[in-house]
Structure 1
Amino acid sequence: MRTRPFAQVDVFSPVPYLGNPLAVILDATDLTDADLQRIARWTNLSETTFVLAPTVEYADYRVRIFTPDGELPFAGHPTLGTAHAWLENGGTPRCPDVIVQECADGLVRIHRSSAGELAFEAPETTRSGPVSEADLKRICTALGIDRAEVVDHQWVMNGPQWVAVMLSSASRVLELRPDLSALGELEIGVVGPYPEGSECAWELRAFIAGIGEDPVTGSLNASVGQWLLRTDRMAGPYTASQGTVLGRAGRVRVTPTAVRENVLVGGTVTTMVRGSIEA
């Protein structure tokens, strides 16, 4: 064991402690897969990330993302949180305004604004299209809603296996009290619009089998943003709210890019704990 730099950050909220926490081990050199998993179980957060030297020429660093149960190929709030912690720890990107992260899902470009806010380019959706009626029936059962309440539905996979359903309003999304035991293997995102002129355009909730409700979910906001763009439900930047039912104040900024049907996903990241870990 040796001493390694460590940070715990709060992602996607302008108010500290009301976003989604992430633990970052900023030097995972020489740690085995078993070590990484053991540390992730110990931190007991939805995700813990481990920073390593990149294996491809154009990346600034490589990250491995672990839940207490296993490794993820990509996740949104770990991407922004890791980039933020890496920069604070003295990381210098090859391009001043763009950090290139290597992860199991490939290379992810993270843009840094003049104000210091970070936003990642959403990875390509690997599965889209409508959900089968059989799957939709299971989803409605888990959410405790009638099939007639579903305004639209779509597979929105981008590493995580998201399926999204749209309801008529943000207030209906907030009313949901799902039966998490009925989720099975499904990872369900639910989205509903706020009235025009509200602070936020959409309310999102994310339900994951074995985990429960995720406070603020970058990967889901990324693929939902692509879906809204494909279906002409958005034309410009918007802010999504997430985590309200859990007492959080997640705010995710989704911005169309020059690349057709793609978006940037950004938000505030704040370091809450800075120090070292023995591992």
Structure 2
Amino acid sequence: MPRFAFQQVDVFCSVPLKGNPVAVVLGADGLTDDQMAAFANWTNLSETTFILRPTDPAADYRLRIFTPARELPFAGHPTLGSCHAWLAAGGVPKGAEVMQECAVGLVPIRRGQGGLAFAAPPLVRSGPVAPDLLDRIRTGLGLPTEAITNAHWVDNGPGWVAVKLRSRADVLAAVPDYAALGRLTLGLVGPWDPAKDGTDAQFELRAFVCAEGYEDPVTGSLNASVAQWLIGTGQAPEAYVARQGTALGRAGRIDLRRQDGAIWVGGATVTCIEGSVLL
């Protein structure tokens, strides 16, 4: 049975066990689709990734991303966690940036003092949310009508629809009814009030994968697409900090900024488990 190098990396937090974990299998070219899907189902993490040789000559490696139920074309915290694992295993990029190949194309990743940051990929769907869908979302979250101040499709692969609420308190008070919300991939965002919440961040987020019935602790793809929406429409400054995972006892911290014509999504990464797996 072949042996593969393995790391489990906590993302968007410098303290182990307070971010969002991703399982990373390195040198996974010998695995079949079924083996990848079975291992991702077994880890039961929100995402498990497999690092392979690139097919694009501009890329440093190719990444495939699986939830316990399906393959994703892109996801944020697996991108940073997998890059962390690749670098820790001795990966050397061809240029100043690490270039990841995945189903949405090439994703540049930068290294800095605060950790790693990826350039947000283009949205595959944007635009306003239909009133009937917005009403279903409000009902499914148990929110009063006045709690929702804006909403927008912000899909960069996983299917995100973002709903902006009045406050951080409203975001944390939401209680999802997954059956009522159906197959939505739903993100909530609300501003921090400096007088009540402090100045450590400017926005609070939560992410619900309703078809699979869970809340994701800290979500890079959602933060990327929300930043594209908020910064692009003047609802947020050119650079801000978001927090996520509070409702789950995590302490995710995401740095968002518009720079060099792109939205960069960054955070700390730390290895929690290292070894090998037999597959």
TM-score of Structure 1 vs Structure 2, range by shorter chain: over 0.9
1:267 paired to 2:267: yes
Pairwise CA distance, 1:223:
0.4
Q: Secondary structure of 1:221's match?
A: helix
1:217 paired to 2:219: yes
Aligned to 1:117: 115
Q: How many Å separate the matches in 2 of 1:237 and 1:229?
A: 8
Counterpart pick for 1:134 among 132, 135, 138: 132
Q: How many Å separate the matches in 2 of 1:221 and 1:270?
A: 20
Q: How many Å separate the matches in 2 of 1:273 and 1:141?
A: 40
| Mapping for residues 42-53 of structure 1, pairs under 5 Å | 42-53=42-53
TM-score for the superposition, normalised by structure 1? 0.96
Q: How many Å separate the matches in 1 of 2:132 and 2:73?
A: 28
The amino acid that maps onto 1:181 is A
Question: Which shifted more, 147-156 or 60-69?
Answer: 147-156
Q: How many Å separate the matches in 2 of 1:81 and 1:220?
A: 16
1:254 paired to 2:256: yes
Aligned to 1:92: 92
Aligned to 2:4: 4
1:162 paired to 2:160: yes
Question: Which shifted more, 54-63 or 138-147?
Answer: 138-147
Q: Secondary structure of 2:155's match?
A: coil
Task: Check whether the contact 1:14–1:251 (CA below 8 A) recurs between aligned residues.
Answer: no
Q: How many Å separate the matches in 1 of 2:213 and 2:83?
A: 25
Task: Check whether the contact 1:47–1:66 (CA below 8 A) recurs between aligned residues.
Answer: yes
Question: Which shifted more, 194-203 or 42-51?
Answer: 194-203
Aligned to 1:179: 177
Aligned to 2:106: 107
Task: Check whether the contact 2:242–2:253 (CA below 8 A) recurs between aligned residues.
Answer: yes
Structure 1 unaligned residues grouped into runs of 5+ = none
Pairwise CA distance, 1:181:
1.8
Q: How many Å separate the matches in 1 of 2:118 and 2:161?
A: 21
The amino acid that maps onto 1:226 is Q
Pairwise CA distance, 1:116:
6.4
TM-score for the superposition, normalised by structure 2? 0.96
Pairwise CA distance, 1:236:
2.7
Aligned to 2:81: 81
Aligned alpha-carbon RMSD (Å): 1.1
Task: Check whether the contact 1:109–1:120 (CA below 8 A) recurs between aligned residues.
Answer: yes
- Render the CA deviation track for 1:90-123: whole Å, top value 9, x for unaligned: 100001x31000001111000111x261100000
Q: Secondary structure of 1:18's match?
A: coil
Q: Secondary structure of 1:151's match?
A: strand
Counterpart pick for 2:190 among 184, 189, 192: 192
Q: How many Å separate the matches in 1 of 2:144 and 2:114?
A: 44
Pairwise CA distance, 1:16:
1.3
Task: Check whether the contact 1:253–1:266 (CA below 8 A) recurs between aligned residues.
Answer: yes
Question: Which shifted more, 234-243 or 4-13?
Answer: 234-243
Task: Check whether the contact 2:178–2:213 (CA below 8 A) recurs between aligned residues.
Answer: no
Pairwise CA distance, 1:229:
0.9
Q: How many Å separate the matches in 1 of 2:79 and 2:12?
A: 11
Percent of paired sites with the same residue:
53
Query: Structure 1 residues 171, 263: CA separation in 2 closer, same or farther (over 3 Å shift)?
Result: same
Q: How many Å separate the matches in 1 of 2:69 and 2:209?
A: 13
Q: Secondary structure of 1:128's match?
A: strand
The amino acid that maps onto 1:60 is D
Q: Secondary structure of 1:156's match?
A: strand
Q: Secondary structure of 2:231's match?
A: helix
Q: Which runs of 4+ in 1 moved over 4 A?
A: none
Q: How many Å separate the matches in 2 of 1:222 and 1:211?
A: 22
Q: How many Å separate the matches in 1 of 2:146 and 2:172?
A: 18
Aligned to 1:207: 208
The amino acid that maps onto 2:80 is L
Aligned to 1:148: 146
Pairwise CA distance, 1:234:
2.2
Task: Check whether the contact 2:114–2:267 (CA below 8 A) recurs between aligned residues.
Answer: no
